[in-house]
Amino acid sequence: MKLLIVSGLSGSGKSIALETLEDCGYYCIDNLPLTLLEDFINHVMLVDKNTYAKTAIGIDARNQSKSLADFSDNLKMIRSKGIDCEIIFMQAEESTLLKRYSETRRKHPLSGLHIPLKEALKIEKEMLVPIARHANVVIDTSRNHYHQLRDLIKDQIGEREIRHISLQFQSFGFKNGVPLDADFVFDARGLPNPYWIPELRGLTGKDQAVSDFLKSQDLVTEFFQDITGFLERWIPRFEAEGRSYLTVAIGCTGGQHRSVYLVDALSKKFKNPSLNVIVRHRELS
């Protein structure tokens, strides 16, 4: 049996994640009190294993802080019953969350007469630390719109049933910040930059002219080979430790040329039936 616990900051997209998982065949429950979790497992999931073979539960700061503090005990209880449990933790930058609440005019579950929104966000983040520290995958939604987030959930969770590990390659520009959900970050800013060649400046790493230029550079080849060797050595070890997700981010200055080329090249190198390879170009989207 499979149980996904979806948690994270209010406004980060948990509802979208649960909707997407429901479309992928999961039985989804939002805002289940942690005090009822063991009863739900004993009297519902384990009684009707066919209906609840794949279940996703949303747990967030609407739970009492004491229940959240005891989350480790709940996790041990779940796994002691032979249930495969994974935790998805969703987050976003504070500025993004403030903007989303301003646009939707929704009320934050912890805000009130004496607690402004910005303070509520900080309190919530602290409350959810016991869940976040056990997360199998962390998804930063600061720069994802609705359809991008749905695709990401489908790629990483809903369509990974027959594969061993989900390997995501993501390009980004350092000028816009490092992705918060990356497991490994490689800096490509020391490589020859097509931006300084006038006829390549307006193109991206997906264009053949940029690809041909970068392929001809020895430093780019060495950089690619070093990353490839590192991943070929360590991916089997991550799988042996039970890791289900791994995000490798490649950054250059603007996220348009070098990082895009390298991410596409790495995805082709590692694409095989045993890996669910996902490609994301943050700045191109």
- DSSP state letters, 215-267: HT-HHHHHHHHHHHHHHHHHHHHHHHTT--EEEEEEEESSSSSHHHHHHHHHH
Cβ atoms of residues 280 and 171 within 8 Å? yes
Determine the pLDDT at residue 242. Answer: 65
CATH of the domain at 77: 3.40.50.300
Determine the pLDDT at residue 44. Answer: 94
Same domain for 139 and 177:
no
Pick out the chain residues at pLDDT < 70: 113, 158-164, 242, 285
Same domain for 208 and 135:
no
Question: Which alpha helices (DSSP H) does 111-244 contain, by range?
Answer: 117-127, 129-132, 146-153, 198-201, 208-215, 218-240
CB 146: neighbour CB atoms within 10 A?
A: 12
Same domain for 192 and 137:
no
What's the pTM?
0.64
Same domain for 209 and 88:
no
Same domain for 14 and 147:
yes
Determine the pLDDT at residue 61. Answer: 86
Which amino acid belongs to residue 202? G
Count of domains for the chain: 2
Determine the pLDDT at residue 162. Answer: 47
Determine the pLDDT at residue 159. Answer: 53
pLDDT tens digits, one per residue of 76-123: 999 999 999 999 999 999 999 988 888 777 788 888 767 888 898 999
pLDDT tens digits, one per residue of 265-285: 999 999 987 788 999 999 996
Same domain for 107 and 192:
no
